[in-house]
Structure 1
Amino acid sequence: MDREDRGAANWFAIGVLTLQWVLMLLPSHPWSQADFPINDDWAHQASVAALVQEGRFVIPDWTATNFLGLLIWGAPWGWLLQPSHEVLRCSGLLAGLLGVWACYGLMLEIGLGARLAMLVAACWAAHPLYLSLSASFMTDVPFITASVVAVWAMLRYQRLASVGWLVTALVAASWAMLIRQTGFSLFVAFAVAGALQPGRRQRYVAVSVLVLGLLLLLGYPWLLERLHLLPAMRHAASEQVRESLALPAGQVVLSVLNWIMRLGLYLGLGAALPLILLAARVNWSALTRRKLLVWTVVSLLVLVAGYALGSSSWRMPLLGKDLIETGLGQRMLHGKSATTPLLWRGWLVVTVLTVLASFWVLALIVPALWRLFQQKAWRRPAGYVPVALAIWLMLQVAPVLLLTSVYDRYVLPLQVPVLALLAWAWSSQALTLTATTGPVLRYAGTAIVLGASLWAAALMHDYFAWNRVRWQWLSDLPAQLGVAPDQIQGGFDYLAPLRYHGGVVQPHPDGWFREPTPYALSIGGPLKQEVLDTRPVDTWLPFSPNRLYLNRSAQ
């Protein structure tokens, strides 16, 4: 494909990915009639509002992240329009779309063809957690976007030796690190992979990159402390790590193994659709019957193992927060209806397929990395890609494994390195590929992406449907009931702005903002209290909560 054809293919891919993103968002229209917080962004929005409306620079006490990069991203939106949740949510949606484009560019740079790279990026766009977190003003998606741009630009610098791409990579990596401290993994990955490359220039750039990363890592919190801007929750994650390391060695090992298995299954689930797309490009008829038989038998055994896990306590979802038994939605409200047979069996199917996908991710990546090690290929230019990707992934995984509580959204920053390593490993395998994608493969890939997009759009629609009903109801209830707003348990992000005060870092024994209240809203089923009223919710999926309940305590 010549340069003109590649340019046309790239613009076509960008257009398709943009259209997909917009169409997935249209049913939920999160930018209108949605001026309410999602998860932690009640604190983030307040920081932007303080800067735009009062000229005060505030790092919210609720955050444990560097946060500055998110404030830099959100402030122009607040100045140009207004610092409302709807406006800042649009900034998150744009960051999410930029991340999808960057994922496409990264897949191209690793070696996938334009059409396959577009399909993989489309699968990433349809990841339900990625789509839903884009519709918030949280650190997750902007951090991921900045990280993917940094890696993509650095790989282009390695190939083209262009200073412009090097500067782009460092700016994006710095932005990622000013959002979250784990952005330091980018600088280490670039430095180590570069130091292993031949040539004095590579080593000079590697040292410079590492120095820049260390300056940001150490200098930024030092500056915050001198300016008395260090947030109260700054050391919350490090405290969890210290608590974990204080346990007996055996418990630490078991805890780490537990998180490795759980994270591994989530990462395998996120790679399932790209795996199908990659497998469709293999000319299976060119493989020997013996190999086909062996891999078929192994896959069947893995499916049986997945069924055994799913039938026990290891049924997905294994991590709480955004993806739970009732579909997409935080555990913000008390009460949960009995899981329907359809949903319970559905999660069993998901668990089985997740185990199979996780196995194939390992089956592709581990042998490829082992060959790299055996052949000492990291010392050659081609070794830069896997070394940088592997270090990027490992350094982001490491701190998560020592936390006392891990939520499913923590998996998202790990997913792109896994997809990138998978693309690299697949392209390095000695597999006979089909000469052309052909109409059947094109239609199959399109059907996969279309199905994933519809699923993600439906989840998003239902998520915002019950949030709209909840917040509209909560706006009227205090006056109707004649009580103060904080006397209603309306969910985490409803009570948090009312009850959280800077410096308070310990939750109630029942959880954050779970203090007893006379009234409570519940979702998915009434509490064991007196039900005063209900409100219907217009949801699409059969297992989505379709009614909210107002409950009054018997006390």
Structure 2
Amino acid sequence: MNTFRPPIWLILICLLWLAAIIWIGPWGEFPLNDDWAYARPVQSLVEHGTLDIPQGWPAMTLVSMIAWGALFCLPFGFSFAALHISMITAGLIGIVLTYVFIEEFSGNRRAALLTAAVVAANPIYLNLSTTFMTDVFFYMLLIWVSILSLRTIRTGSMRTYVWLMVALTIALYTRQFALFLAVSFGVGYFLSRTYSKQTFLLAVFPVFMCAAELLLHQYVFYPLLGFTDLHSPWMNNLTDRFFQPLSLQYYHYRNAILAAVGYPGLFILVLWSLVPGQALRLPLWGIRLSRWLPFAFLLALFIAHYPSMLMPFIINVWVDFGSGALSLRDGILEMAKIAEAPAILWQTLTVMAIVSGIMLTALSLNGLRNILSNFSLPLPFRSVLILFSLTFPAQYLAVITVAGLFDRYYILLIPFAALLIALHGEHRPLRRWYGAAIALFLTAMFVFSTLSTRDYHSWNSARWLALDDLTNELKIPADHIDGGVEFNASRLYTRDFVPKNPDVWWWVPDDEYVIAFDSLDGYTTVRTYPFKTTLPWVRIHELRVLHRNS
């Protein structure tokens, strides 16, 4: 068994990432984004030995992450700080596993280091690593399962196969998307060998195992143990989407296509420096890949011309303010001009994202075409790698495109896109100006990620200080306050809540008091709570406690 020895550059990436986390200081005792729903069952498990899941809100299986969070709460009891440390740990492991995944299966150490740096510098990944959201934890499991899958395909080791089943189960009981990994493994394993009954059974068993575990979860563990009810409103979007008005469908699918092309394209942008010119001379539909560049650039310029199609394509974690969900009323409803980054910044990022995304799509189609045109069993391992890097994203994108969109969903595509590019990459040293451009881009991205995440925790600290003063000092009951999604959900969530105002859907029975970024019509500011920001385009530096006029 080979011992993993991380290179010095990987150690430096991890240390720099941890230093940024420490400077951000994500130790506040309050929920962030949707993690109130995931923290509640951890708290009930640690303190009472039961699962108190807010049924109807979480759409994922969640059990493995509850156990992970509880493990970090065991030494000193439940706290959000412990939960944040658990995700920071998962985030760090995810960075290391990303390096292992790319280095082991592409043989390209430079590509592996660059991909690890890309993940570490990603603003969505860094922000979510300081919360208790499921995305970073599932990313870690996704890479682990992918490594075991490809090792099993390459070696045929039954010991690795058994470990793969264990890892798949753990991943599946975090998010159902692990089923797609089982399908990807099954396809790769079956096509990498000559046909036999044993090969077929070993290929399809993980898929049936995952399906059986999901049925067990819903029809046994949910009613008996209180596991998540998978029949949540989010799952209903899969069918409801097709019955929406055409105008809404157009808007949804337009943004879905832009996001599916643009976010992965931007995330892996620097990896194109590894691809030699001859790799772009490969034909796709009779046209060299390099000749797709002018088309991609013109299309990107056309898209960037329209403000409604600029990045961020989906308002969730990566926003004009920086990073982190703007979960106060005027943030959710976009009523306040909280920040205004220079238009040229979003235009430049949009052009780069679309060009890179189109080229990534072309490279994917070219890889698939080559496999199909020379198809014979067993497939060479390189072809299996390309197929594996395409099958999970294809299944995943098909579901999230229809069901619903959040920008954080797209970080799961980074390792697969990176592997595809690394398989076409060179091993020789980069040209000096390439290296300088990569260093500049990654540094800028990492600085932005760090500053924006610090700002996110800064304004949330001010928000929860204001809420503590309202509830403890002024004795205002929670059901008379609109403190944003996390406050009202963590205190007043019910599955059958009917809002008085359909726009204000987050469990606000009476909005006598509102915490907001700016003033609101019909309200008077009674207190302000300043917070520090570091990004120059942020316009608001204090939160307001508003009281409804009589």
TM-score by length of 1: 0.87
- Give the one of 449, 455, 467 matched to 1:474: 467
Q: Quick one: which amino acid aligns to residue 122 of structure 2?
A: H
Q: Which amino acid aligns with 1:485?
A: A
After superposition, the C-alpha distances for 1:14-46 in whole angstroms (9 at most, x for unaligned) are 42232132122122121x3x1111112112212
Letter in 2 for 1:348: Q
Q: 5 Å matches for 1:165-244?
A: 165-199=160-194, 200=196, 201-227=198-224, 229=226, 231=228, 234-244=231-241
Whether the 8 Å contact between 1:233 and 1:505 is mirrored in structure 2 is: no
Aligned to 2:356: 357
Write out aligned runs for 1:255-294 (5 A): 256=253, 258-275=255-272, 277-279=273-275, 282=276
CA contact (8 A) 2:127 2:453 kept: yes
SS at 1:520 equivalent: strand
Match for 1:79 among 74, 77, 97?
74
| SS of residue matched to 2:173 | helix
Closer/same/farther in 2, CA of residues 518 and 296 from structure 1, 3 Å limit: same
Distance 2:396 2:280 in 1: 38
Q: Aligned equivalents of 1:229 and 1:124: distance in 2?
A: 35
User: C-alpha distance in 1, partners of 2:274/2:269?
Assistant: 10
Residues 251, 461 of structure 1: alpha-carbon distance in 2 compared, 3 angstrom cutoff: closer
Q: 2:488 aligns with which of 495, 508, 514?
A: 495
Distance 2:9 2:165 in 1: 26
How far is the alpha carbon of 1:130 from its aligned partner? 0.9
Give 1:188 deviation, angstroms.
1.1
The CA distance in 2 between the partners of 1:332 and 1:252, in whole Å, is: 25
**Residue segments in structure 1 that go unaligned for 5+ positions in a row:** 289-293, 428-432
Paired amino acid for 2:467: L
The 2-side partners of 1:213 and 1:286 are apart by: 39
Deviation at 1:86, TM superposition (A): 0.6
Q: Mean alpha-carbon deviation: is it higher for 382-391 or for 43-52?
A: 382-391
Q: Structure 2 CA distance, aligned partners of 1:210 and 1:553?
A: 55
Residues 267-302 of structure 1 show CA distances to partners (whole Å, capped at 9, x for unaligned) of 222222333x425xx3689989xxxxx988854553
Q: Report the alpha carbon displacement of residue 132 of structure 1 after superposing the two structures with TM.
A: 0.9
Shift of 1:112: 4.4
- Aligned counterpart, 1:368: 367
- Out of 103, 123, 126, which is 1:131 matched to? 126
Q: Read off the aligned partner of 2:80 and give its amino acid letter.
A: H
The 1-side partners of 2:206 and 2:290 are apart by 46
| Pairing 1:134-153 to 2, within 5 Å after superposition | 134-153=129-148
SS in 1 for 2:534: coil
> Structure 1 residue aligned with 2:88, among 90, 93, 115?
93
Structure 2: which 5+ residue stretches go unaligned? Answer: 283-287
SS in 2 for 1:548: strand
SS state of the match for residue 544, structure 2? strand
Please list, as runs of the form range in 1=range in 2, the aligned pairs for 1:286-435 lying within 5 A after superposition. Answer: 299-312=293-306, 313-335=308-330, 337-338=336-337, 342-376=341-375, 379-382=378-381, 383-403=383-403, 405-424=404-423, 426-427=424-425, 433=426, 435=428
Distance across 2 between alignment mates of 1:138 and 1:340: 25
Alignment CA distance shift 1:516-1:353 (3 Å): farther
Distance 1:75 1:338 in 2: 39
Amino acid across the alignment from 1:321:
N
How far 1:480 moved relative to its partner?
Answer: 4.4
The alignment partner of 2:347 has SS state of helix
- Counterpart Cα distance in 1 of 2:463 and 2:244: 41
C-alpha change, 1:547 and 1:90, in structure 2 (3 Å) is same
| CA distance 1:64–1:101, shift in 2 (3 Å) | same
CA–CA distance in 2 between the matches of 1:434 and 1:105? 17
Residues 419-458 of structure 1: pairs in structure 2 closer than 5 A: 419-424=418-423, 426-427=424-425, 433=426, 435-437=428-430, 441-458=434-451
Residue 537 of structure 1 aligns with which residue?
A: 531
C-alpha distance in structure 1 between counterparts of 2:452 and 2:300, whole Å = 25
Q: CA deviation at 1:442?
A: 4.8
Whether 1:16 aligns to 2:12 is yes
SS in 1 for 2:265: helix
The answer to whether the 8 Å contact 1:232/1:504 transfers is: no
TM-score normalised by structure 2 residue count: 0.88
Partner deviation per Cα, 1:307-348 (whole Å, 9 max, x = no partner): 332231211112122222222121311335437664333222
Q: Which amino acid aligns with 1:365?
A: S
Does the C-alpha gap of structure 1 residues 374 and 330 become closer, same or farther in structure 2, counting only changes over 3 Å? same
Q: How does 1:47-126 map to 2 (within 5 A)?
A: 47-61=41-55, 62-126=57-121
For residues 339 and 202 of structure 1, what CA distance do their matches in structure 2 show? 57
Report Cα offsets for 1:66-105 as digits up to 9, x if no partner.
1111112112112223211110111011111111111111
Change (3 A) 1:354 1:216: same
- In the alignment, residue 59 of structure 1 is paired with which amino acid? I
Match of 2:496 in 1: 504
SS of the residue 2:45 aligns to:
helix
* Cα distance in structure 2, aligned partners of 1:301 and 1:537: 45
Mean Cα deviation higher: 114-123 or 339-348: 339-348
CA distance in 2, matches of 1:318, 1:258: 6
| 2:33/2:325 contact within 8 Å kept | yes
Q: 2:84·2:131 contact (CA, 8 Å) conserved in 1?
A: yes
Match of 1:484 in 2: 477
Contact 1:24/1:453 (<8 A) preserved: no
Identical aligned residues as a percent: 23
1:163-185 Cα distance to aligned partner (Å, 9 max, x none): 34323332222111101112111
Q: Distance in 2 between matches of 1:488 and 1:345?
A: 39
- Residues 1:76 and 1:372: Cα distance change in structure 2 (over 3 Å): same
Pair 434,42 (structure 1): closer, same or farther in 2 beyond 3 Å: closer
Alignment partner, residue 513 of structure 2: 519
Distance apart, 1:450 and its partner CA: 2.8
Residues matched between the structures, number: 533
Secondary structure of the corresponding residue to residue 179 of structure 1: coil
